[in-house]
Amino acid sequence: MTDNHNNANVLLIPKIENGIVIDHIPSGYGVKILEIAHRHEELSTIIISLGMNYLSKRLGRKDLLKFQIKELPPSFLQHLSLICPGVTIKRIENFAVEKKIVLDVPELVDKVLKCPNPSCITNFEKSINTCFHLLEREPLTYGCNYCERHFSRAELEAALP
Ligand SMILES: [Zn+2]
């Protein structure tokens, strides 16, 4: 990163040599994301640190998480993008931000959620993994690939395992 604006932002983040930082987490969501991380086996031995209530121009207060890992598992990113879209994911190499993306809502969510429709086949046949596709962004709506019902984000969140 060469431009000054970005360098100024990096100074707010506790330094790590290599890893992934999830930044711009709305205040209070850091703990929630940590909980999600605990459900993903691939992260069970990874060193994670949580910072809370940092000052942010954009959000007022923000949380951030540091992971001592090269790449976050795709299933975790999918899960995260559903719960907390808009966060910034930064890859740190040699103390510098090497890559930065803003997490968008997922187009597809597979295996992570339970279908809220009790008569959906995915709730009977354990061998069938759930899959939902994005239908609309405002308000955020997903469709089940099996029973074809539509669900809001709140309904899907309530059905998180
Ligand atoms: Zn369904």
pLDDT in tens, 45-63: 999 999 999 898 888 999 9
Residue entry with tokens 């209530």: 53
Domains parsed from the chain with CATH numbers: 4-102 (3.30.70.140), 108-158 (2.30.30.20)
Residue 85 Cα to ligand 1 midpoint, Å, equals 23
* Mean pLDDT, residues 110-128 taken together: 91
How high is the mean pLDDT of the chain? 87
Band of the pLDDT at 2, cuts 50, 70, 90? Answer: very low
Identify the pLDDT of residue 157: 80
> pTM score, two decimals?
0.77
Residue 146 Cα to ligand 1 midpoint, Å, equals 5
| 161 three-state secondary structure | coil
Q: Which two tokens stand for residue 104?
A: 């968008």
Residue 123 Cα to ligand 1 midpoint, Å, equals 8
Residues 6+ away with beta carbon under 8 Å from 7: 1
Residue 122 Cα to ligand 1 midpoint, Å, equals 6
